[in-house]
Amino acid sequence: MKTIIIIIFSSLLLYGCVGVSSQGVLGTGVSIYTDPRTLGTQIDDSIMQKSLGIRIAQVNSKYIISVSTKVIDGHIFLKGTVDTVDEKILMTKLAWKIEGARSVKNNLKVKDKFSLKNEAKDLLITSQIKVALLANKKVKSVNYQINTVNQIIYIFGIAQNEEERREVINEGKQILDVKNVDATIFLVNDLSQNKK
């Protein structure tokens, strides 16, 4: 019980260090004002994300740094690195145990030998697409979370319409050295609160 309290307290401290503009009020990567989800959906997603983070940390504290999660409308996304294939499978199982999970997309990578050159390329690619989306007036860049691993861009987010979704994917494909763009972009109309 003491361990759980320490983990919860630590995670609250870590999340509290990030500014509202970069993480949103609920820590989901999109500010409440610009997020097309209802406030209730944002809260549900935030609770799911925090619950999964706690479960992952209970398995091993090293995952607090190496594994990150994102929840959009009950869809869970895992990214980061793990040491073995078994750990990757374990993370998927933990995600599916979260109440309200509608799907799980596991983009965790099993650690290869560390390469400073590859890490630098990935960082450059991520920076380039973030700048491109920020400059593109057809895109609300705040609605997207971007990660690059081994020159593959992973994009998670919510588009206002199909044109915006295409714009985001095309911006990624135009960047030099990109092997692939793996985009999971929901349309506002596809979110659960809009399907009544």
The pTM for the full model equals 0.63
C-alpha to C-alpha distances, 15 to 46, 119, 164, nearest whole angstrom:
12, 25, 30
CA distance 136 to 127: 14
- Do the domains 116-194 and 2-110 match in fold? yes
In the chain, where are the structural domains located? 2-110, 116-194
The 10s digit of each residue's pLDDT in 115-155 is 778 889 999 999 999 999 999 999 998 888 888 888 999 89
- Architecture in CATH for domain 2-110: 2-Layer Sandwich (3.30)
Average pLDDT, the chain: 82
3-state class (DSSP) for residue 10 = helix
The CATH architecture annotation of domain 116-194 reads 2-Layer Sandwich (3.30)
Per-residue confidence at 22, pLDDT binned at 50, 70, 90? very low
